[in-house]
Structure 1
């Protein structure tokens, strides 16, 4: 049991700390996004692109808090929080536009199930977000 605890500590606080924390935060954001997307799309019959905007927005709120405070550990920064938040929103608007375009493209032209398309575009957005968060927003 002690070895398991040391292994978990190493993963979250060792050499893989940043990637592990970003991934964990991403999973939580994705769960929130998918839950809200599914409720909007399946329960309330809101068109999938609008459901994507709503779900993504809920994930973004969680993402800013966890990425700032835990993943990149920026409790204090030389940047004002308003500047950091503006950059964060800009990154997520870029990701949102890309995901909206790609989800529409995958559903319309490849006839993919909307949830399969959502999984694909979510993975693409995570790569874009990580790079821009690390080198621009939370640097």
Structure 2
């Protein structure tokens, strides 16, 4: 058991591992909101994607700035503006991806959401590391 704890502690020293854990939490928030909106409330896919993704990125900013990238910058500042800009771009990619996969390619909602999530997680990490949290990353 002590070896497992030691391994976890070593893994958490890697920023990418922390980003993946944070990404998992963000994805969970995103999926819960998305499926509540589309399933329970019967909202259309595109507005549901915008709202669920927005909930995920708010969670992402809060956790990534403190835990993943350990920034000391002000909460409301240039870093947040860059984060919002980057994530609006990624949101655009996610909406386009959902639209292409569901309406143009005929994929089901769940498969489209999974493919879109994989795409945006990779894109989000790269852009956040290079543009938003670059001083500490």
Unaligned runs of 5+ in 2: none
Q: Which has the higher contact order (CA 8 A, sep 6+)?
A: 2
Distance 1:114 1:60 in 2: 21
Find the partner of 2:45 among 45, 48, 54.
48
Q: How does 1:83-122 map to 2 (within 5 A)?
A: 83-122=78-117
RMSD across aligned positions (CA) = 1.2
Distance 1:43 1:6 in 2: 43
Distance 1:106 1:28 in 2: 24
Moved over 3 A (4+): none
Tell me the alpha carbon deviations over residues 33-66 of structure 1, each in whole angstroms, 9 at most, x when there is no partner.
0000000001111101000011001101100011
Unaligned runs of 5+ in 1: none
Aligned residues, how many? Answer: 134
Find the partner of 2:36 among 30, 36, 39.
39
